[in-house]
Structure 1
Amino acid sequence: MLDSPEFHRAARIRGLEISEIVQISERAAARKALGHDVVALSTGEPDFPTPEAVIAAAHKAATDGKTRYTPTLGTAELRAAIAADAKARPDQVIVSCGAKQVIANAMLATLEAGDEVVMPAPFWTSYADIVRMAGGSPVIVSCAMADGFKLTPAALEAALTPRTRWLMLNAPSNPSGAIYSPAELSALEAVLLRHPQVWVLSDEIYEHLNFIPFHRLADVAPDLRGRLLTVNGVSKAWSMTGWRIGWGIGPVDLIRAMGAVQGQVTSGACSIAQAAATAALTGGTEVLDVRRDAMRARRDLVVSALDAMPGIECAAPDGAFYVFPRITGAMQAQGHATDAAFCDWLLAEHDLALVPGRAFGLPGHLRLSFAYAESELQTGLDRLARALNGDT
């Protein structure tokens, strides 16, 4: 038998692995399969069901025969609904298989080798890997807890170079929940107007999960619209993670370039899922208001409990469904040099799955998702408290 040739990864994905969030979730699932009573507060997936009206729309689309290929940029109905909501035109919209594909399309369509992408840390873990895969270089700007984990104009100015192609903003933020005020966005706009080569990607996927007023960048900074890509979708607010529908809104030339990438990778997104997303966008916000109130109660429960634990400092997030507490004191008290070692210990010894801050570019913290029932959150918080107090 001939020996198989040695496998070589392409240079563009050397060092690229499944995200640490997914790895932790898979490890937690493996422990559960072995009989351990694991509490996993590690994933960003709301526990609410997809709204009934959305499911009904999907069922009707299927029975009506809307099961064929869709246009690469999305169905006319969904693009129109997105455009109406964003005060844009349908030709400025691309629909993709989730918001992650929108971001990948944009980076693959625009980055040359060595182009720089500024990303405030903490940032969603996939940002940096997508940029590297597209040939770009992430420029990570640490944002202090004292600044609300938000990018300041001075820090942005210092990070920009002639090689900067994009700034990635995410608000409400994963993992910190930070939301920028109109004044803060205008201050960043003033910096960007001095650097016309820099495009802006505004990831607003958690837009409707806000506990203080949220303002879209496109509305606050209209002078940036000619180089702004807004990313959004139905996954988080409408509990439609598995439907895989996200979208981008931006200048027509950018949208066409992103469509060229998508057309050679996946073509158009699922027809049934697009019908469901159209129903979500056009069906009113009452269900979102109820779920936001539930998330606020969960947030308050988690923040109050964490603030009472030794070595943990936790600020209440303004949006999304995560807290991102500083844990350096707890790490030191338990003899762990890194946040990753601390989280490994929690899973191995206390059957509690959380995500270390290093996964988001800012070590010394951890992310806890409160997109779970209060009973499950309380169990997880009790386990963390016992671990920090040395109880078994």
Structure 2
Amino acid sequence: MRTEVAIIGAGPAGMLLGHLLARAGVDATIIETRSEEYVASRIRAGILEHSTVRLLDEAGLGKRLRAEGQEHRGIHLQWPEERHHLDFVDLIGRSVWVYGQTELQKDLIAAGHPVTYEVTGTALHDLTTGRPYVTFTDAGGTARRLDADVVVGCDGSFGPSREAVPVAARRTWQKTYPYSWLGVLADVAPSTDELIYAYHPHGFALHSMRSARVSRFYLQVPAGTELADWPDQRIWDELALRLGHGQDGWKLISGPITSRSVLPMRSFVQTPMRHGRLFLAGDTAHIVPPTGAKGLNLALADVALLAPALVALLREHNPTLADGYAEAALRRVWRSTHFSWWMTTMLHTGDDPFDERLKLAQLQWVTSSTAGATGLAENYAGPPS
């Protein structure tokens, strides 16, 4: 098998990269360890930055997003007895969109770029030469070799691409937070017009949504929490408490919970994002806690840089953009990593009373200062296109 760009991973980053390369006339082959059904149904991020929406529009993938997604002007920040709305459009002239990763994945699959699913034993070879290749076993049990000019790892935390960078050539930074998120999906209309981020002595809570009929909720829980300890009624009771049911007449509407999971909270960055003819993108190179809604947007921002770099490298034999990819991507990665850490530490509770007072002071400043609100808006909605 021969291709110009071998892409490992068929999540949004890998699929969008394949789509953009194909539009530019570059041959790309995508392989994926999971089934198409699994990849298409993964419940992940739901907030798209202004620049992400613009990228999808330019790629011809924004039609259903514009028709079925929800444009939000901002978010609500809350703590006991107080709720404040930050209007991003008024502050910086940019909005965000609510559109679940599952919906974006459907759009990418419908775009038609072929994927070889359910491969096993993927390994990367000769990455520092001009003739890299990938080996794997297909779903039928046949061993395959895929020769390429470039390999791109979009296979996340547990794929082989991250580990293909030699230990001596890589450096990692990471932080594990002392709490997790209990995330639930419920068949109930949202009780809010825009997301509510709530600080509460019992722990952080978030009211999000996926559509006009489906809501997404998160609760801060201790690391190591078992789902069995959180029956439906306990979840709804805690959400009502932390989100302020009854405050100023606001009511939380409950409904059937259709899925739940416990999400660990961590930050991770691996450098470099390029090793020879291997380029890393998305969760393969960086992970952020979901508080700042940066993960999916960062992955697609990587692809927005990488696609034209590979086109220039392979079509024009111009390596300038490819050589600068890692440095350019990491500037945004570290900015988003800081913002995600800042949002997380400001909104989640801990054991130190002094720190808790500082968090309240920070929330009060952000919601009462134009400068503070503008800084949050700039980071949350993302840079201008």
TM-score range, shorter chain: under 0.3
Structure number with higher strand proportion: 2
TM-score, normalised to structure 2, is 0.23
TM-score, normalised to structure 1, is 0.23
Q: Which has the higher contact order (CA 8 A, sep 6+)?
A: 1
